[in-house]
Amino acid sequence: MAYMHEYAKPFFFEGGEHAVLLTHGFTGTPATVRYLGERLRDAGFTVQGICLPGHGTKLEDMRPVRWQDYLNAELTAVRELKEKYPYVSVCGLSMGGDLTLIAAEQMEVTSCIPISAPMKTQVRFDWAAGALSVFVPVTYWRNGGKVDPNDPMKDYKAGYAGFPTRSVTDLRHLMHLARKNLYAISCPMLVVQSHGDHTISKDSADIILAEAGARQKEMLWLADAPHACTASEACDEIAERVIPFLRKAQNA
């Protein structure tokens, strides 16, 4: 398979008995969660970063992929890690955060860390994506996916410049499914969102915290990080909070 960037490939870092599954978001790649994975690896965790179906190669590969394919990839990865490690935590960015929530709802995991996980988006007319796709088959991100060549985190930002418009219906379905069963989450959870996130609804984190069934719930609000905060300098702040949280969850 020809990946768009070296960091767009799935990764696996062998470490201790606590494994952490990292899942990227809609149109993203494992690159966007790799730096967090490197920080967790250095802290002694086993880390796996999966590449969701249709991602990491070329935009056209997203066309035939449906929400069931994304969810199956997530649940399969969790199941395989649970066969090898006594502790398995799930952590995801954006749509990957919603997949993380669903995994925690359906499977027994050590802890759950949704990052920038949308319960709703700020994208206008996302509800009409199916109909709009007939006239606008591909939607491009506002900046066209361009990355500043001087950005020290540029290698961690590999992703598509846009997406098949119809694919938004799959994203919406996963958001609905994640929210519908939040009550089923019983493991410790750490919710991460930024005040500077202009992609998802501002109350997404509040909804997750209010409706999740977990008794142990923590919140990390970032001051001004972008939506893909794990691919920004804010990732160090995230890692400094995630590492002790994972250790505490393991000992709970």
CB 118 within 8 A of CB 206: no
Position 147 scores a pLDDT of: 76
Active site residue 18: no
Catalytic residue, from 18, 55, 227, 232: name it: 227
Beta strands in 94-133 (DSSP E): 111-115
Position 201 scores a pLDDT of: 93
8-state DSSP, 200:
B
Task: Please give the Cα distance from 116 to 201 (Å, whole number).
Answer: 10
Tell me the pLDDT tens digit for each residue of 174-231.
999 999 999 999 999 999 999 999 999 999 999 999 999 999 999 999 999 999 999 9
Active site residue 227: yes
Handedness of CA 196, 201, 205, 210 (dihedral sign): positive
CB 100 within 8 A of CB 23: yes
CB 33 within 8 A of CB 230: yes
Strand order in the sheet with 18-23: 11-13, 46-50, 18-23, 87-93, 111-115, 189-194, 217-222
**pLDDT digit of tens for each residue in the chain (252 aa)?**
899 999 999 999 999 999 999 999 999 999 999 999 999 999 999 999 999 999 999 999 999 999 999 999 999 999 999 999 999 999 999 999 999 999 999 999 999 999 999 998 866 555 555 555 555 667 777 776 677 778 889 999 999 999 888 888 999 999 999 999 999 999 999 999 999 999 999 999 999 999 999 999 999 999 999 999 999 999 999 999 999 999 999 998
Task: Please give the Cα distance from 77 to 48 (Å, whole number).
Answer: 9
Burial class (CB in 10 A: 0-12, 13-18, 19+), 24: buried
Catalytic residue, from 98, 197, 204, 232: name it: 197
Which residue from 10, 98, 43 is spatially nearest to 238, judged by alpha carbons? 43
Active site residue 94: yes
Position 95 scores a pLDDT of: 98
Catalytic residue, from 94, 111, 167, 204: name it: 94
Position 84 scores a pLDDT of: 98
Position 181 scores a pLDDT of: 97
Two structure tokens written together for 230: 């794990």
Write the CA distances from 45 to 51, 85, 179, 204, 207, integer angstroms.
Answer: 19, 11, 29, 28, 29
